[in-house]
Amino acid sequence: MSPGQRNKKGTLLIEINSNLCKGCDICIELCPTDVFKKSEKLNRMGYYLPVVANMKNCTGCRLCDLMCPEMAIVITEGQKTDKEKSRQGHDN
């Protein structure tokens, strides 16, 4: 699972499970606000993974989550966990 990205308020987290993703690009094509883009990163099955490129645009509509045929997208609502906060601390 990718570390995921949060919206500005930190209330919404999107994660892409790289082990499940088959690189079909449905999420990229369907997202109404262009949150995803194709990356150059391959998963272990050889599929190019999408990345969250414009998280600030995400409205939380969950279309990507609903339409991903591999159920590889996980959207979580809620504030940052202690684990995330400590990870952020190490990044700074």
Size of the site for ligand SF4 (CB under 6 A): 25
Given the complex with ligand SF4, which of 41 and 85 has the nearer CB atom? 41
Q: In this structure, what token pair is assigned to residue 65?
A: 């989550």
Element (H, E) at 14: strand 12-16
Q: Which of 10, 75, 87 is nearest to 36 (CA)?
A: 75
Which residues from 15-54 bind ligand SF4, rule CB under 6 A? 16, 21-27, 31, 33, 35, 50
Q: Are 63 and 30 in contact (CB under 8 A)?
A: yes
Give contact residues for ligand SF4 (rule: CB under 6 A).
14, 16, 21-27, 31, 33, 35, 50, 58-64, 68, 70, 72-73, 75
